[in-house]
Amino acid sequence: MLPVLINLPFLKIYTSGVFLTLAFFWGSYLLWKLIHLTVYREEDVFDGVFFSLFVGLIIGRFVYVSLNFSKFGFNPAKIILINGFPGFSIYGGLLGFFLGHWLFFRLKKISYWEIIDYYVAPLFLVFAFAKVGNFFSGSEIGAPTQIFLSVKYAGLAQAHHLTALYEGILFFLGAFLAHRLLFAVRRGNYPKGAAFVFFIGYFALVYFSLDGLKSAHLLMRGYSFNRTVSAILLLTVGFYIVYYFRSQIYHFLSKHGKNTYKIVHRRAKKTLRKREKKDASAD
More confident residue, 138 or 166: 166
**Where are the chain's structural domains?**
4-40+110-244, 246-283
Cβ contact 193:117 at 8 Å: yes
Cβ contact 154:1 at 8 Å: yes
Cβ contact 151:136 at 8 Å: no
Predicted TM-score (pTM) of this structure: 0.85
Question: Is the per-residue pLDDT at 171 higher than 90?
Answer: yes
Cβ contact 150:137 at 8 Å: no
| pLDDT tens-digit series, residues 19-49 | 999 999 999 999 999 999 998 889 999 999 9
Question: What's residue 234's pLDDT?
Answer: 95
Question: What's residue 195's pLDDT?
Answer: 94
| Exposed / middle / buried, residue 168 (Cβ in 10 Å: 0-12, 13-18, 19+) | buried
Question: What's residue 53's pLDDT?
Answer: 93
- Low-confidence winner among 29-33, 153-157, 219-223, 272-276 (lowest mean pLDDT): 272-276
Closest of 57, 280, 67, 30 to residue 176, by C-alpha: 30
Element at 244 (helix H, strand E): helix 225-244
Overall average pLDDT of the 220-242 stretch:
91
| pLDDT tens-digit series, residues 73-122 | 888 888 888 877 888 999 999 999 999 999 999 998 888 888 999 999 99
* Alpha-carbon gap, residue 174 to 179, rounded angstroms: 8
Q: How does residue 259 score in pLDDT terms, banded at 50, 70 and 90? A: low
**Helices (H), ranges, 68-142:** 69-72, 76-80, 90-107, 112-115, 117-137
Question: Is the per-residue pLDDT at 170 higher than 70?
Answer: yes
Question: What's residue 268's pLDDT?
Answer: 65
Question: What's residue 69's pLDDT?
Answer: 87
